Structure 1
Amino acid sequence: MDMEAAAKLAMALPEVAGGTGETGQVGFEVGGKGLAWGYVARPAPKAARVLVPGVLAVRCAKETKAMLLEAAPDRFFTDDHYRNYPAVLVRLEAIEADELEGLLRGAWKTVAPTAVKKRHPHV
């Protein structure tokens, strides 16, 4: 996987908006709520955050995050900034399309407003 392929999977979900901004930052949302975005990290303490190529943050339940981190640390990780946040960091080069599609679908179900979910009950 790469960011372009991940973007296609995210944009294929109903009513998802987003893409790549001027700074190269990528982000996707449904109903104004973020479901996935590019990972930015500090290269040094107190330094400005910079985009980390090939890593996508995907919203998920904290229980799901814990399971993913334990089961597949080669594909999923976290950092101090995300430690208590309901999103997992995904190494795109290490994940298959179907697994990322499932994560993005789960993120969509987590953040999509009720009205959007009613319009798209098949997701």
Structure 2
Amino acid sequence: MADADDVRRLALALPHVVEIDSDGFDFRVADHGFVWSYPERRPGKPRAIRTDIAVLYVGDEAEKQALLLGEPELFFTTPGYDGLPLVMLWLAKVGVDRLEELVTDAWRMRAPDSLAGDLGGGGRPR
């Protein structure tokens, strides 16, 4: 099963990725976040950075719902993410191969077309 070190290794293997200094992990391409640690907010308490949960950019609401409904053991959301094309992923429940696919897809959706070809295979997923 995967962990924050796997996220870091996979994200940094992608072209033009910048890691933002944080208490967890936070990766961007062309100034757009594509995977980061979940900043859990609990009423009356300070925000807690959860490195056991990754937030992934998924492109649109349809993809978000497909992941949430299709693999509820892996993905979840919170009211704070309503209307946003983001899902949370339990890292301990996902294999490294599946994590690589998810991180790469998130990168492709956030990278401008001028960078997407640098990955090989070209273009956007789907």
State TM-score, norm by structure 2. Answer: 0.86
User: Is contact 1:25-1:51 (8 Å) kept?
Assistant: yes
After superposition, the C-alpha distances for 1:12-67 in whole angstroms (9 at most, x for unaligned) are: 1111111652xx22100111110111101112x25332112300001002211101
Cα deviation, residue 114, structure 1: 2.2
After superposition, the C-alpha distances for 1:45-91 in whole angstroms (9 at most, x for unaligned) are: 25332112300001002211101111111110000111211111000
Output aligned runs, 1:1-123, within 5 Å.
Answer: 1-18=2-19, 21=22, 24-43=23-42, 45-61=43-59, 62-122=61-121
Unpaired runs of 5+ residues, structure 2, are none
| Identity level (%) | 28
- In structure 2, relative to structure 1, the CA distance for the partners of 1:7 and 1:70 (3 Å cut) is same
C-alpha distance in 1, partners of 2:44/2:34? 27
State TM-score, norm by structure 1. Answer: 0.88
User: Is contact 2:25-2:51 (8 Å) kept?
Assistant: no
User: Is contact 2:37-2:55 (8 Å) kept?
Assistant: yes
User: Is contact 2:24-2:50 (8 Å) kept?
Assistant: no
Unpaired runs of 5+ residues, structure 1, are none
**What amino acid does structure 2 have at the position aligned with 1:56?**
A
What SS does structure 1 have at the residue aligned with 2:103? helix
What SS does structure 2 have at the residue aligned with 1:40? strand
Cα deviation, residue 118, structure 1: 3.7
- In structure 2, relative to structure 1, the CA distance for the partners of 1:80 and 1:57 (3 Å cut) is same
**What amino acid does structure 1 have at the position aligned with 2:26?**
G
**What amino acid does structure 2 have at the position aligned with 1:14?**
P
What SS does structure 2 have at the residue aligned with 1:81? helix
C-alpha distance in 2, partners of 1:72/1:50? 25
User: Is contact 2:24-2:51 (8 Å) kept?
Assistant: no
| Runs of 4+ in structure 1 over 6 Å off | none
